[in-house]
Structure 1
Amino acid sequence: MADKPLRVGVIGTGVGAAVHIPGLRQIPEVEVVAIGASRIEHARQAALLHQVPHFFDDYRRMFREANLHAVTIATPPEFHHPIAIAAAEAGLHILCEKPMARNAAEARDMHRLARDANVQHAVDYKTRFLPSRQVCKRLIDQGYLGELQSVSLTVFRQSWRDRLRHSTSSLDAGERAGGVLGALGSDYIDTLRWWFGEIHAVAGALPRTIRGSECFSLILQFASGALATIHVSAVAPMDVGDEIVAVGTDALLAVQADGRVFGMRRDEQVLSEIELPDVWGDLPNFADRRVRPFVLLAREWVRGILEGKSAVPSFEDGMKVQEVLDSVQRSQELQRWIDTSGKKWPV
């Protein structure tokens, strides 16, 4: 396979066409040869626009006829499970959009079958590859914070309804179908788990309003005992962005909405800006800011396919995040903390 292009099919004409296709074309080892959608006219239009040779309205037919090595799944979340299962059964490597599934049961099933099929599997937690997240990961792993004490993450985003109304939305149908908890919460939960380790307990709340799916608050307790709070509001009249503040016994790290990172050691008492790594290299700028971090993630996925090793977030990571997402819903229903450690009972 190393001597010929990796033939990839893309399923979904929202994020799939806007992010996956231009991103995959930045990887020399990859050739995008097919695109699929639920409606043949959408698939045909996307194929013509992006010069993809084959288009389908049936992913099973795509898997049979397009001679693929791998597939990316960028459909609404309710279709992730059946497509991923069919792809694993066909021996195809899989990159799936987030949220990985509708629930933890589906995510576990996807992980088990992809693992048993011995295919490379990944979830598109592309924010891991942002310069701000990368530099924080490096500093945390080096012990900059000391022992973690607390994390606060706040997000204020414009409502997707308002974005659609003002024709500025980049939110696709799949992201809307997953809700804000799935679309945004999955990314933030993955980041905190990646930085600080396994999450052993969850308490969450969703507003009891008609627009409750656009807001949520939750508390996470890591295996270390440290706490994190996440509050997301997607009903703001404009994007204010997100801010993450992590406090440890030795220092503080703050990620601001504009992507800048600041740090302060306890013995310094001065907040200093931290230089960000140049993760983009020679990648061009894209109108859609999601493309460049997607390229970095997809490169790792492709490296895993070709070399058998990869630092890409896997289906196991997606499964762990989905367990936390499910626990937020259960916490809301039962009005109590939910154990996710697996020590009291399987999650």
Structure 2
Amino acid sequence: MIDPVDVGIVGTSWWADSMHLPALANHPHAKIDAICGRDVNKAKHMAERWHIPYVYADYHDMIEDRRLDAVVISTSNDAHYPIAMEAMQAGLHVLCEKPLAMTYAQAKEMADFATANNIKTLVPFTYGFMPTSRFLKELIDDGYIGRPYHLNMRYYTGYARNGEYQWRFDLGKAGAGVVGDLGTHFFYIAQMLYGDVKSVSCHLTHLRERASIDSEGKPYEVGDDGAIITLQFENGASGVIQVSAVCYEDTPFGQTHHMEFHGSGGTLYSYTDWATVQMVSGARVGEGQVKPLEIPERIWAGARRDTVHNTYRDIFRQQDNMTRGFITAIVENKQPMPDFQVGAKIQRILAAAIMSHHEGRWIEVNSITT
């Protein structure tokens, strides 16, 4: 048994600082041993704040020093594949942000290597761990809506409204625009609730003019800031997912989530305003109008509910979800979920969506091989 788990984190983003590092710092079986960032001064500053003993500017050096059991990869998407593969080849367990890679072929190689070598992996599709999503899964699995007919999911946020350069819209670093950054979150939830996706039709938009040069003064190919994706599921259900990063959403988290699920036996709705509202409502056939459904206490598991952000903090910093769950799984020699195989599935849906937009036709997900 590995205990404690010596962890190195690659990336010095706000997300690493606000989510991964707090979760690791309060896990009784985790030891944050190293941090790596291209901006070594920023890495040193974070190391001081989180009491991390070793600082690296090059992930090769961090991995080669052989003092780690696991790595957390919180970098731009173009770095996921090389870092994860090198770490796994060194025998390290890997948590890697989504989307897992730049292409499906890369993601599949990562997933297959991990499976063949018994590497513990995790792709943190954050919103699947939230109480609303977990309650929806229980209800749908228990037959609340009967046979699924269709779904409608909308993710609205405004982080692209200012038009400044962001690597998330730089196709050389991200591989996709908002359809990869936000769409993959909802692809994961849709598949979690309705099963495998069979085919995809997608339309991508570029609504906000963006900076024409990157942070180094070089031109780059700009990714989409909005997407509408139509899905056909293997079980015969269909769905529509809309994501946009140019919406005005004046909430503390700057976003809202809207979800609707319909089937032969009933209807479910979920709405999160990312201020104080996180609700599920529904009605089964014969019950009359849709009514609020109370999320069970066992799903909250003690998480605060006064604001959605406090729920979010507790789910990921205090409970064994996502980063904390990754550590617990290593200690208990279990495979955390969603793993790289799931991440590769979502990458395949993303690749099909992008191909659909460019070719103007429906794409069978299983036809994607690259």
- Same fold? TM cut 0.5: yes
Q: 1:158 to 1:215 in 2, by over 3 A?
A: same
**Which residue is equivalent to 1:44?**
44
Q: CA deviation at 1:289?
A: 6.7
Q: CA deviation at 1:173?
A: 5.1
Counterpart amino acid of residue 321 in structure 1: I
After TM superposition, the structure 1 stretch with the greater mean CA deviation from structure 2, 252-261 or 173-182, is 173-182
**Which residue is equivalent to 2:341?**
316
**RMSD of aligned residue pairs (Cα, Å):** 2.5
Is 1:330 paired with 2:355? Answer: yes
Is 1:201 paired with 2:199? Answer: yes
Is 1:263 paired with 2:278? Answer: no
Counterpart amino acid of residue 11 in structure 1: V
Q: CA deviation at 1:80?
A: 0.2
| Structure 2 Cα separation of the partners of residues 274 and 125 of structure 1 | 24
Q: 2:104 touches 2:369 (CA, 8 Å); kept in 1? A: no
Q: 2:152 touches 2:240 (CA, 8 Å); kept in 1? A: yes
| Structure 2 Cα separation of the partners of residues 283 and 36 of structure 1 | 31
Is 1:339 paired with 2:364? Answer: yes
Q: CA deviation at 1:100?
A: 1.0
Q: 2:121 touches 2:335 (CA, 8 Å); kept in 1? A: no
**Which residue is equivalent to 1:140?**
140
| Structure 1 Cα separation of the partners of residues 360 and 291 of structure 2 | 41
Unpaired runs of 5+ in structure 2? 211-222
Unpaired runs of 5+ in structure 1? 166-171
After TM superposition, the structure 1 stretch with the greater mean CA deviation from structure 2, 222-231 or 239-248, is 239-248
**Which residue is equivalent to 1:53?**
53
| Structure 1 Cα separation of the partners of residues 44 and 232 of structure 2 | 47
**Which residue is equivalent to 1:190?**
188
Q: 1:249 to 1:202 in 2, by over 3 A?
A: same
Equivalent residue for 1:223, pick from 212, 230, 234: 234
- Scaled by the length of structure 2, the TM-score of the pair is 0.84
Q: 1:11 to 1:289 in 2, by over 3 A?
A: farther
| Structure 2 Cα separation of the partners of residues 282 and 33 of structure 1 | 30
**Which residue is equivalent to 1:101?**
101
Counterpart amino acid of residue 22 in structure 1: P
| Structure 2 Cα separation of the partners of residues 21 and 315 of structure 1 | 21
Count matched residues: 338
The percent of aligned pairs where both chains have the same amino acid is 29
Q: 1:162 touches 1:237 (CA, 8 Å); kept in 2? A: no
Q: 1:71 touches 1:93 (CA, 8 Å); kept in 2? A: yes
Q: 2:29 touches 2:328 (CA, 8 Å); kept in 1? A: no
Q: 1:175 to 1:269 in 2, by over 3 A?
A: farther
| Structure 2 Cα separation of the partners of residues 197 and 312 of structure 1 | 16
- Scaled by the length of structure 1, the TM-score of the pair is 0.90
Equivalent residue for 2:331, pick from 277, 298, 306: 306
Q: CA deviation at 1:31?
A: 1.1
| Structure 1 Cα separation of the partners of residues 155 and 80 of structure 2 | 26
Q: 1:256 to 1:223 in 2, by over 3 A?
A: same
| Structure 2 Cα separation of the partners of residues 304 and 133 of structure 1 | 21
After TM superposition, the structure 1 stretch with the greater mean CA deviation from structure 2, 83-92 or 35-44, is 35-44
After TM superposition, the structure 1 stretch with the greater mean CA deviation from structure 2, 83-92 or 20-29, is 20-29
Counterpart amino acid of residue 255 in structure 1: S
| Structure 1 Cα separation of the partners of residues 310 and 162 of structure 2 | 19
The residue matched to 2:132 in structure 1 has which SS?
helix
Counterpart amino acid of residue 202 in structure 1: V
Q: 1:245 touches 1:252 (CA, 8 Å); kept in 2? A: yes
